[in-house]
């Protein structure tokens, strides 16, 4: 099936600054990128394998180094039956001042029966005066496995004011067999809320992990809470972390912390638990440093 990613309202497909499309299939126990197409300021490094599981890893890159006002990007991936993809980025998504209009990013993922997607990009850094809007739509077979991670933080501002960006919006839809089962709408507007330095309870980083998987039941969530040490009162200064069950098998994890390393420690620990318990893999090591 060929992926057709709709442009944001009022935008022609050729108006995107960068576009990347991937098609992944399973061949004899190993996932391979069957088709890859890109245009503009969005590319992918050569697919590679981090372990012997057969999961293919793809790193998306933006050679421009940052996003500017009015930029529009799209990323799409289609995973065939039993295909497994680890999708990441080469560096953080840096969103600079956007007086020309918001930066828009459209993502669409389609997962067939037995397919698995782990999307673990580097963080979104929104600088003073920036507006960033990301819309993610996932079409999921009931037998597929989905894990979407995101990290948001503020960038440098001339006077040192934290959360000087205008808006960060991350909207995610998950459809199972054509039925909308998850709608997660994360909206950060520091000035509109008058929060300033009190944004995120005084923490600088927000991490999210959205998981939809038939194995993500109450017992799995309880085990994960125990693994992350978030049962009962959390130690002073530690990341503030919570996990909520979804109406379908799955959960959303949110964590507030004071550094990229602290957020990644929580997200990677959760991903590592799932990789070990459900897939027989080792901890996640993206080998970027």
pTM for this predicted structure: 0.91
Q: How confident is the model at residue 64 (pLDDT cuts 50, 70, 90)?
A: confident
Q: Is residue 57 part of a domain?
A: yes
- Kindly report the backbone phi and psi dihedral angles of residue 19, in degrees, each rounded to the nearest multiple of 5, phi listed first: -140, 135
Q: Is residue 9 part of a domain?
A: no
Q: Is residue 205 part of a domain?
A: yes
Residue 81: other Cβ atoms inside 10 A: 14
- Would you say 245 and 186 are in contact if contact means Cβ atoms under 8 Å apart? no
Q: What is the pLDDT of residues 99-147, one digit of tens each?
A: 999 999 999 999 999 999 999 999 999 999 999 999 999 999 999 999 9
Q: Is 90 exceeded by the pLDDT of residue 5?
A: no
What totals of helices (H) and strands (E) does the chain contain, helices first?
Answer: 3, 17
Q: How confident is the model at residue 288 (pLDDT cuts 50, 70, 90)?
A: low
Total of domains in the chain: 1
Q: Is residue 284 part of a domain?
A: no
Q: Is residue 31 part of a domain?
A: no
Give the sign of the dihedral formed by CA 72, CA 96, CA 137, CA 56.
Answer: positive
Q: Which domain holds residue 144?
A: 38-232+240-279
Q: Give the ranges where the chain is alpha helix by DSSP (H).
A: 190-193, 218-228, 260-279
């Amino acid at each position: 099936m060929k992926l057709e990613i709709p442009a944001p309202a009022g935008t022609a497909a050729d108006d995107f600054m960068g576009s990347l499309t991937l098609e992944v299939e399973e061949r004899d126990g190993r996932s391979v990128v069957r088709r890859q197409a890109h245009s503009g300021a969005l590319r992918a490094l050569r697919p590679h394998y981090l372990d012997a599981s057969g999961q293919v890893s793809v790193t998306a890159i933006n050679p421009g180094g940052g996003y500017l006002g009015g930029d529009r990007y799209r990323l799409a991936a289609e995973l065939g039956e039993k295909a497994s993809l680890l999708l990441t980025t080469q560096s953080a998504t840096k969103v600079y001042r956007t007086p020309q209009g918001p930066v828009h990013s459209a993502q669409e993922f389609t997962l067939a029966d037995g397919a698995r997607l782990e999307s673990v990009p580097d963080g979104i850094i929104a600088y003073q005066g920036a507006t960033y809007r990301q819309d993610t739509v996932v079409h999921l077979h009931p037998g597929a496995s989905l894990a979407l991670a995101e990290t948001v933080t503020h960038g440098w501002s001339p006077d040192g004011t934290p959360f000087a960006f205008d808006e960060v919006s991350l909207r995610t839809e998950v459809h199972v067999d054509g039925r909308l089962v998850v709608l997660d709408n994360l909206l950060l507007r520091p000035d509109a809320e008058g929060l300033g330095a009190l944004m995120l309870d005084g923490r600088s980083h927000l991490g999210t992990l959205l998981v939809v998987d038939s194995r993500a039941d109450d017992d799995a969530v309880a085990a994960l809470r125990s693994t992350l040490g978030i049962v009962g009162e959390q130690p002073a200064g530690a990341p503030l972390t919570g996990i909520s069950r979804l109406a379908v098998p799955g959960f959303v994890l949110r964590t507030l912390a004071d550094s990229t390393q602290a957020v990644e420690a929580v997200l990677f620990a959760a991903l590592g638990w799932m990789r070990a318990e459900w897939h027989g893999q080792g901890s996640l090591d993206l080998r970027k440093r």
